């Protein structure tokens, strides 16, 4: 694990601490030795009074309130868009920097949308809030950016295979219960998902626009362009929920202005930050979500020429949605801010 080597320590709050991403944030802050002087766990009133483990201790969960962000330097938020829209501005007003995992601020022109392996420089422009991209966007950006730097991508066609974890801890439990019910000959119950996910799949169930694209697909289109810093890339996406517990996969077709050999692409990705090349052509062994689960890296493989287009390249990836697709990316942004003295905090101001 990478470590943040700093003399300054920070007062950190996790908003949405009891969720799947919140649990991962706790583990990563500890394992990566983020310099914390005080850690506050925040959630809804129904979770107040519970405790969560951190570094051998059990920390209490508090109900978020107007005073929750007093004497807090950094807020890692993963509690949904409406919650972030309400509380993030209050946290900033109290003197904290917010790294938000929801979609609330991603397309706000004044808010940086950051993947540290791609556009770390964007973080410097923050005005108190930095947005964490959508999970599928993060995974694709980490894999495509190293190639885009060598030869700009003109068009991306992507199909996603999204696990239950993308809908949270309750969705993961729902799929398990559905699988047990089906195996016992019972009718599976649905609550989080509109249809049974166990032994099934369906197009992503976010709202569909007039063009027939769902919200999840448009996130990939718009967020990728913002992160890459260009509106010139043509992007189309088909997002599908699949009966996988954790870690998303993506089939990506890239089109360039000139041929891009699979051999060259493979060598570039071998050296790319945040990427692990997984390929054994003889064994037909490539990235799988079961092996990506719990891993920091995005597993990339099955890199091959597109036989339908002379300038086309195909790749396949799997990446942990909870980890790199959410919590890890947020912690990496926090590390970046601290290392580059971009974390504007009360503590930093007091030390000047």
Phi–psi pair at 38, nearest 5 degrees: -155, 140
20 is in an annotated binding site: yes
Among 225, 254, 249, which residue's Cα sits nearest to residue 239?
Answer: 249
Give yes or no: 311 in active site.
Answer: no
Both tokens of residue 10?
């920070």
SS3 category, 96: coil
46 is in an annotated binding site: yes
List 135, 148, 204, 239, catalytic entry = 135
Among 225, 309, 257, which residue's Cα sits nearest to residue 153?
Answer: 257
| 51-54 long-range contacts, CB within 8 A, separation 24+ | 52/17, 52/18, 52/22, 52/23, 52/26, 53/26, 54/26, 54/29, 54/30
How far apart are alpha carbons 169 and 8 in whole angstroms?
34
165 is in an annotated binding site: yes
241 is in an annotated binding site: yes
61 is in an annotated binding site: no
Angle at 215 between CA 173 and CA 157, to 5 degrees: 100
Give yes or no: 204 in active site.
Answer: no
SS3 category, 210: coil
121 is in an annotated binding site: no
Residues in the chain: 352
State how far the alpha carbon of 230 is from the alpha carbons of 73, 91, 241, 256, in Å: 32, 31, 28, 15
How far apart are alpha carbons 224 and 124 in whole angstroms?
19
259 is in an annotated binding site: no
| 214-221 long-range contacts, CB within 8 A, separation 24+ | 214/239, 216/134, 216/136, 216/160, 216/162, 219/103, 219/106, 219/133, 219/134, 219/136, 219/137, 220/134, 220/136, 220/137, 220/140, 220/158, 220/160
166 is in an annotated binding site: yes
Q: Do residues 325 and 28 touch, judged by C-beta distance below 8 A?
A: no
302 is in an annotated binding site: no
List 126, 148, 204, 248, catalytic entry = 248
Phi–psi pair at 255, nearest 5 degrees: -120, 130
- Residues within the annotated binding site for substrate? 162, 215, 241
Q: Which residues are annotated as a binding site for phosphate?
A: 106
Where is the binding site, in residues?
Answer: 18-21, 46-47, 106, 162, 165-166, 188, 215, 241, 321
Catalytic residues: 135, 248
């Amino acid at each position: 694990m990478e470590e943040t080597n700093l003399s300054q320590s920070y007062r950190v709050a996790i908003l949405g601490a009891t969720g799947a991403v919140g649990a991962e944030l706790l583990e990563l802050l500890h394992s990566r030795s983020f310099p914390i002087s005080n850690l506050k766990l925040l959630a809804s009133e129904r979770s107040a009074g519970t405790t969560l483990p951190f570094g051998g201790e059990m920390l209490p969960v508090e109900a978020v309130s107007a005073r929750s962000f007093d004497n807090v330097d950094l807020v890692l938020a993963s509690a949904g868009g409406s919650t972030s829209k309400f509380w993030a501005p209050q946290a900033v007003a109290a003197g904290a920097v917010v790294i938000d995992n929801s979609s609330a601020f991603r397309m706000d022109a004044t808010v940086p949308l950051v993947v540290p392996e791609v556009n770390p420089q964007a973080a410097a422009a923050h005005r108190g809030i930095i947005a964490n991209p959508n999970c599928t966007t993060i995974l694709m950006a980490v894999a495509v950016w190293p190639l885009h730097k060598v030869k700009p991508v003109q068009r991306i066609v992507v199909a996603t295979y999204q696990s239950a974890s993308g809908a949270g801890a309750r969705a993961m439990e729902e799929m398990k219960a559905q699988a047990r019910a089906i195996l016992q000959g019972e009718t599976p119950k649905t609550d989080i998902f509109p249809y049974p996910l166990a032994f099934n799949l369906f197009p992503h169930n976010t709202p569909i626009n007039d063009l027939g694209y769902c919200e999840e697909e448009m996130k990939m289109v718009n967020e990728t362009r913002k992160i890459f810093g260009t509106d010139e890339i043509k992007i189309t996406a088909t997002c599908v929920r699949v009966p996988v517990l954790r870690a998303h996969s993506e089939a990506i077709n890239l089109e360039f202005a000139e041929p891009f050999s699979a051999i060259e692409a493979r060598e570039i990705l071998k050296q790319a930050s945040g990427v692990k090349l997984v390929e054994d052509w003889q064994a037909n062994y490539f990235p799988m979500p079961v092996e990506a689960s719990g891993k920091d890296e995005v597993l990339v493989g099955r890199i091959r020429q597109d036989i339908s287009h002379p300038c086309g390249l195909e790749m396949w990836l799997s990446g942990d949605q909870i980890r790199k697709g959410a919590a890890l990316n947020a912690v990496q942004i926090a590390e970046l801010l601290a290392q580059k003295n971009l974390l504007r905090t009360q503590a930093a101001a007091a030390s000047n």
